[in-house]
Amino acid sequence: MERTVNVGLIGAGRIGRLHAETLAHRVRGVSLLAVADVVFEAAEKLAADFDVPSALKDHRNILDDPKIEAVAICSSTDTHASFIEQAAQAGKHIFCEKPIDYDLKRIDRTLKAVEKAGVKLQIGFNRRFDPSFKKARTMVADGKIGTPHIVRITSRDPKTPPLGFVERSGGMFADMTIHDFDMARYLVGSDVEEIYAIGTVLVDPAIGKLGDIDTAVVVLRYENGAIGVIDNSRQAVYGYDQRIEVFGSKGGIVVSNPTPDLAVLSDADGVYSAKPLYYFPERYAESFIAEVREFIECVQEDRVPPVTGIDARIPVAMAIAALKSSRENRPVKLSEIG
Amino acid sequence: MERTVNVGLIGAGRIGRLHAETLAHRVRGVSLLAVADVVFEAAEKLAADFDVPSALKDHRNILDDPKIEAVAICSSTDTHASFIEQAAQAGKHIFCEKPIDYDLKRIDRTLKAVEKAGVKLQIGFNRRFDPSFKKARTMVADGKIGTPHIVRITSRDPKTPPLGFVERSGGMFADMTIHDFDMARYLVGSDVEEIYAIGTVLVDPAIGKLGDIDTAVVVLRYENGAIGVIDNSRQAVYGYDQRIEVFGSKGGIVVSNPTPDLAVLSDADGVYSAKPLYYFPERYAESFIAEVREFIECVQEDRVPPVTGIDARIPVAMAIAALKSSRENRPVKLSEIG
Amino acid sequence: MERTVNVGLIGAGRIGRLHAETLAHRVRGVSLLAVADVVFEAAEKLAADFDVPSALKDHRNILDDPKIEAVAICSSTDTHASFIEQAAQAGKHIFCEKPIDYDLKRIDRTLKAVEKAGVKLQIGFNRRFDPSFKKARTMVADGKIGTPHIVRITSRDPKTPPLGFVERSGGMFADMTIHDFDMARYLVGSDVEEIYAIGTVLVDPAIGKLGDIDTAVVVLRYENGAIGVIDNSRQAVYGYDQRIEVFGSKGGIVVSNPTPDLAVLSDADGVYSAKPLYYFPERYAESFIAEVREFIECVQEDRVPPVTGIDARIPVAMAIAALKSSRENRPVKLSEIG
Amino acid sequence: MERTVNVGLIGAGRIGRLHAETLAHRVRGVSLLAVADVVFEAAEKLAADFDVPSALKDHRNILDDPKIEAVAICSSTDTHASFIEQAAQAGKHIFCEKPIDYDLKRIDRTLKAVEKAGVKLQIGFNRRFDPSFKKARTMVADGKIGTPHIVRITSRDPKTPPLGFVERSGGMFADMTIHDFDMARYLVGSDVEEIYAIGTVLVDPAIGKLGDIDTAVVVLRYENGAIGVIDNSRQAVYGYDQRIEVFGSKGGIVVSNPTPDLAVLSDADGVYSAKPLYYFPERYAESFIAEVREFIECVQEDRVPPVTGIDARIPVAMAIAALKSSRENRPVKLSEIG
């Protein structure tokens, strides 16, 4: 039987609550001992809702607690790098939401701190744990489609984010496409060496006024010769659109969108079926649980987590390259980014 | 905000644990205070796993507890009627797994006791709460397909049950088809007046030696003129097959099987997709939660539960009629059954 | 290279024109030399449209023509038996639309005449030649699903026929379900020994006034132990609904409806796709061609046609049994029918 | 009733025979009077097979025939421009296979000749007439998806062409992607102003040795702001893969691949369905007929054909831009091409 891992949670916002539920109810061998949030009321509410013994204002109290072996960092993005470093110094294993930071040098410093401390670090690229995408990756790795030639990723949100969020988001490539950059690497098991991106404003001019984009197509040239294409929109009115395809020398794999129900109505006017699941909490419900479960198992069994430091860094570099490409309207090599 | 309902659980077996998880983690406004099981170790383990304060051997301790407002009865079928009566007498609201009993007179006595006590009773026909079936029912009720003419229910298990279970199951019509009888009533919102059934042994002769069947087709003549067809098998090698169709004057609704993933592989030999979800715990995971949530809300809001006493009785009568029909090879009226 | 078969066509109505186009343009090794119709103008128009050298009023001129080796009989049903007998006597191979007759004794006399003459006879159960149904049958015959246990056939027309047609149709079981009776035999490769049928009027009371039905469910008990279910409606408002399923010990095969296009629209309200192909000329376009092609090949290669006399007789007996069952509300054995 | 259009066919190869069958059997109001081919035997065989009165070696005999009103040019690509010019001079309406030429100046000269002669010219971009693509275009034009934002076209052949063909093909962009360039324009109803293309050799190195490519991704920047992506492969081992998607402010449309049958087998190992239709003769059978029917109607009703001179020119310019882009690895404006 697995031993129990004591965990502290930093950040009691939306994603913190989501992971709290997983840690409280969906993973065996875990004890969620404490939660910290600068908004103390949020920590208190989360603690009450999920029976967490200790609610704190200062995350350092978690780091100082010798009973706690691992932390889940769900605070705001600008704190990630520094909290990871502090946790590493405190000898805690770390699960952290993406991204570590938008600055590659800052990421590198952080990763060095993790390496020096010898703790485990897993980044929250949860989509790798989606059953359909995972099966696709497994089939690719098993050679079912031979050598990958073309990868297609469609990733569209159901609605534009609040403008306040857009301002602090780091831009669409860094905030949204970053998941697809990770997926592109994951599906093929190879890195990208050059990126050509078109980013534009077709949905909401207000987003453009903030200097951001809402629609993009990104072409990836993989090191192994394959070509990838990502298309993004901040607004698919029919719901969250998350599809992938990997095409290769011996076949292809396609993943379509799950729906909340499978009832199909036919009448004199046509045939009607359900829209895709609305957004990430529904669409990726299983993968949010599976990634945390995997992290806990890695701690229990002393394994290297499946999404580690370099997997956090590279998509940020890809986002920087995509932004540069779209601004200069030319293909940009990853080697230009550093 | 909803008030908290204190619940006691009777029966700590497989289905008891399933509802315990729901009561512990998936429903707001519930407090699972006690669990009782004649196998005390089972009660203890369930209590430990789901943080239930009190583990008991005797369910009467639950019924005597004035703090407990409602009970969930998940003990063996032969105890259902008597436990319901005792709980009613104790003034507890009751959620009970199907069936109340295989004997109609026994059911009637039990329902009278419930009525006399004025408590709420909900029976665990969970499939009504499946999102797809519920949507189908809602569309029928909303007139989307006009007047229902033909109903088709396919219900096939992935594998034959253990022979020991078959012996005590009450027969396939009473154990398995009973869900489809409920579904047939639910989808159309009308009762059946006559049944013609063919039951046969095509899967495993050992089931036949026990006097039971493993394959069946049942035709239903509804009071409102519609015709229903149920087909059952104890073994669909590709997984749990649970589909329905309602066809009417203005259209039709079809519900197909959910799958664990949506990855589709195409290669030189063909196109491959996932089999249906394996069995009821996966297929009806959502509906098992939704039915308990609904029961708790009915207690909180003092509403009549959506699956009540008569809904427990009629499918049993239908199962008796189907058995009689298949043995006498003639259509049998429900009015013959009593 | 195949030798040319000279063919005469009897009957220049809708189905006659359909086969004329096939014979004129879609089959190699055929020469359509003459067409006869009691309505001479129809014969003339067909001859003009498909470059048939000779248009006639009297079908006997075709039978007397020594150059003509085979005839396609597409005249009205009441002439089928007598025309088959005359054609057989004249030594012509015969393709005839279903049914030969509604009277079993009349059919038997006709089949004896065919046998005596030693000519080939193929009956127009075209659905066997549909690519999807044929593939299903081939997979069943190849053992892909093991032993068949349950067969389901859904067969619904898009709209009720004209009342004038209903009067002369022989009744829904004989006119419409007859195709499904043939399909039921074809898919399993076994005969049926008992039938239970419910026939009712749910679509149009005027059909009921003519003594016919518009909605039916028919249960078939196969000689080999399998159970079949057919459901019929004279009116599926969403189009021609023609689906089958064969379920067995090692798997199942499902055939769904083809559609005129594969465009799927998703918008804020839902997901919309095309209705099924409207009716038999579109749905069975390929199978109408394939059956004639097969008949011509059988003549060229001196093979026994795939749908022969006994295949014409048995579905008529099944229709009689179904009608008897629905009227007496009891299962009827085929052996009762004679 | 429509008047009869007398047509002459130039070129009796594969595509010539395909159009001959359409002209002979599938279009009303047409008379195919003559066929010419430099390989006289091919003309003779086609004439015999489709009852064409006159087989000729020299296409000028067709152009000189005053009874002939329109010609279908299906000869080799290098003859298209000159034959169009000659036919225009002779006052014939022209249906010509794509492309007119690979040289834009040559195309321009030809289009001027057509314009001067005042005859109709339709180019064989048959895919516009596919029922699914046409429905998609109609829905876009009707505003069903609002303003188009993203277009995706997948176009993959089932197998690499013979190397001899590759040598004379003009390159993959000009031979294969050209259809997708036309589709990209058709679906959105807007032109493209800039192209970025990656072309590479992943399937067969022998194609690379001939200076051609077998795999490509092309990004299109539309004049109206939308972004398009085309992905091509010369070899999809599972069959001809021809899918499109148009995504916009109010929704999206997806078209998937048709299959030869709709039988789905489920067994203990998985669920199996049919591969896509193998290649263009099967996949585009309907559209090859529909385009010719449309051309004939345009002649009969004196309408402008739906795919005219400029539609022939622009995809060639796009192919030139794509090739330039892939060689120089930079986005290329159409205005650079001339």
Give pLDDT tens digits for D214-265.
999 999 999 999 999 999 999 999 999 999 999 999 999 999 999 999 999 9
Judged by CB atoms within 8 Å, which residues 231-260 of C form the interface with A?
236-239
What is the identity of the amino acid at B232?
N
Is 70 exceeded by the pLDDT of residue C29?
Answer: yes
Least confident piece of the model among B2-6, C123-127, D286-290, D309-313: B2-6
Structural Rg of chain C based on CA atoms = 20
**Domain annotation covers residue D300:** no
Distance from C-alpha of B148 to C-alpha of A216, rounded to nearest angstrom: 47
Final residue belonging to a domain, choices B119, B154, B184: B119
pLDDT (mean) for C263-273:
98
Final residue belonging to a domain, choices A119, A144, A163: A119
Is C266 within 8 Å of D251 (Cβ atoms)? yes
> Which chain C residue lies closest to B203 (C-alpha atoms)?
C249
Distance from CA of C226 to the nearest CA of B (A): 8
User: What pLDDT score does C1 carry?
Assistant: 52
**Domain annotation covers residue C21:** yes
Instruction: Please indicate, yes or no, whether residues B195 and B224 belong to a single structural domain of this protein.
Output: yes
Rounded to 5°, angle at Cα C304 from C300 and C309: 130
Contacts of A5 (CB under 8 A, 6+ apart): A29, A30, A31, A69, A70, A296, A299, A300
In a 13 Å sphere around the CA of A273, the CA atoms on its Cβ side amount to 19
Chains that touch D (3 or more CB pairs under 8 A): A, B, C
**pTM of the predicted model, to two decimals?**
0.96
Q: Does C139 touch chain D (CB under 8 A)?
A: yes
User: Omega of the bond prior to C99 within 30 degrees of 0, cis?
Assistant: yes
pLDDT (mean) for D81-98:
97
What is the identity of the amino acid at B40?
F
**Domain annotation covers residue B283:** no
pLDDT in tens, C155-181: 999 999 999 999 988 999 999 999 999
Question: Which of C93, C314, C290 minimizes the C-alpha distance to C192?
Answer: C314
Instruction: Please indicate, yes or no, whether residues A69 and A140 belong to a single structural domain of this protein.
Output: no
**Domain annotation covers residue C308:** no
pLDDT band at A125 (very low <50, low <70, confident <90, very high): very high
Low-confidence ranges of chain B (pLDDT < 50): none
User: What pLDDT score does D288 carry?
Assistant: 97
Distance from CA of C188 to the nearest CA of A (A): 29
CATH number at residue A85: 3.40.50.720
Distance from CA of A174 to the nearest CA of B (A): 27
pLDDT band at A51 (very low <50, low <70, confident <90, very high): very high
Instruction: Please indicate, yes or no, whether residues B113 and B241 belong to a single structural domain of this protein.
Output: no
Q: Does C139 touch chain B (CB under 8 A)?
A: no
User: What pLDDT score does B3 carry?
Assistant: 87
Final residue belonging to a domain, choices B119, B141, B156: B119
Of D152, D219, D238, the CB nearest to A219: D219
Select the more confidently predicted residue: D338 or B178: B178
pLDDT band at D3 (very low <50, low <70, confident <90, very high): confident
Judged by CB atoms within 8 Å, which residues 281-310 of A form the interface with B?
none
User: What pLDDT score does B127 carry?
Assistant: 98
Q: Do D268 and C251 touch (CB under 8 A)?
A: yes
- Domain of A258 in residue numbering reads as 128-278+314-336
Is 80 exceeded by the pLDDT of residue D2?
Answer: no
Judged by CB atoms within 8 Å, which residues 217-236 of A form the interface with D?
217, 219, 221, 225-227, 229, 231, 233, 235-236
Q: Does A267 touch chain B (CB under 8 A)?
A: yes
Is 80 exceeded by the pLDDT of residue D1?
Answer: no
Which of B21, B31, B264 has the most A C-beta neighbours within 10 Å, making it the best mutation to test the interface with A? B264
> Which chain A residue lies closest to C237 (C-alpha atoms)?
A268
Q: Specify the residue for token string 């203005």.
A: B250
pLDDT band at C338 (very low <50, low <70, confident <90, very high): confident
CATH number at residue B160: 3.30.360.10
pLDDT (mean) for D47-71:
97
Instruction: Please indicate, yes or no, whether residues C137 and C208 belong to a single structural domain of this protein.
Output: yes
Distance from C-alpha of C130 to C-alpha of D135, rounded to nearest angstrom: 26
pLDDT band at D150 (very low <50, low <70, confident <90, very high): very high
Three-state SS for A67-119 is CCCEEEECCCHHHHHHHHHHHHHCCCEEEECCCCCCCHHHHHHHHHHHHHHCC
**Domain annotation covers residue A198:** yes
Residues in chain C within 8 Å Cβ distance of B215: 149-150, 227
Q: Do B275 and D271 touch (CB under 8 A)?
A: yes
**CA distances, B16 to each of B32, B177, B179 (Å):** 12, 22, 19
Q: Does B48 touch chain C (CB under 8 A)?
A: no
Q: Do B263 and A145 touch (CB under 8 A)?
A: no
Q: Do B226 and C202 touch (CB under 8 A)?
A: yes
User: What pLDDT score does B1 carry?
Assistant: 52
ipTM of the complex: 0.96
Q: Does D329 touch chain B (CB under 8 A)?
A: no
Instruction: Please indicate, yes or no, whether residues C77 and C198 belong to a single structural domain of this protein.
Output: no
**Domain annotation covers residue A286:** no
pLDDT band at C3 (very low <50, low <70, confident <90, very high): confident
Q: Tell me the pLDDT of chain A averaged across its residues.
A: 97
Is 80 exceeded by the pLDDT of residue A2?
Answer: no
Is 70 exceeded by the pLDDT of residue C183?
Answer: yes
Query: What single DSSP character describes residue C161?
Result: P
**Domain annotation covers residue A284:** no
> Which chain B residue lies closest to C254 (C-alpha atoms)?
B256
User: Omega of the bond prior to B99 within 30 degrees of 0, cis?
Assistant: yes
Q: Which helix (H) or strand (E) holds B100?
A: none
Measured in degrees and rounded to the nearest 5, phi and psi for residue D124 equal -80, 50
Q: Do A271 and C268 touch (CB under 8 A)?
A: no
Tally of structural domains, chain A: 2
Instruction: Report the 10 Å Cβ neighbour count for B15.
Output: 18
Q: Do A273 and C268 touch (CB under 8 A)?
A: no
Instruction: Please indicate, yes or no, whether residues C178 and C324 belong to a single structural domain of this protein.
Output: yes
pLDDT band at A1 (very low <50, low <70, confident <90, very high): low
Query: How is B242-286 classified by DSSP, letter by letter?
Result: EEEEEEETTEEEEE----S--EEEEETTEEEEPPPPSSHHHHTHH
Contacts of C307 (CB under 8 A, 6+ apart): C122, C123, C124, C125, C128, C182, C291
Instruction: Please indicate, yes or no, whether residues C72 and C200 belong to a single structural domain of this protein.
Output: no
> Which chain C residue lies closest to D242 (C-alpha atoms)?
C262
Distance from C-alpha of A94 to C-alpha of C258, rounded to nearest angstrom: 53
pLDDT in tens, A34-45: 999 999 999 999
Instruction: Please indicate, yes or no, whether residues B150 and B68 belong to a single structural domain of this protein.
Output: no
Of D267, D268, D275, the CB nearest to B270: D275
pLDDT (mean) for D293-315:
96
Instruction: Please indicate, yes or no, whether residues B243 and B163 belong to a single structural domain of this protein.
Output: yes
pLDDT (mean) for C284-310:
96
Instruction: Please indicate, yes or no, whether residues D154 and D222 belong to a single structural domain of this protein.
Output: yes
Instruction: Please indicate, yes or no, whether residues C331 and C198 belong to a single structural domain of this protein.
Output: yes
**Domain annotation covers residue D286:** no
Chains that touch C (3 or more CB pairs under 8 A): A, B, D
Instruction: Please indicate, yes or no, whether residues B143 and B238 belong to a single structural domain of this protein.
Output: yes
pLDDT (mean) for D33-58:
97
% of chain A surpassing 70 pLDDT: 99
Which of D154, D238, D267 has the most B C-beta neighbours within 10 Å, making it the best mutation to test the interface with B? D238
pLDDT (mean) for A153-179:
96
What is the identity of the amino acid at B276?
P
pLDDT band at C255 (very low <50, low <70, confident <90, very high): very high
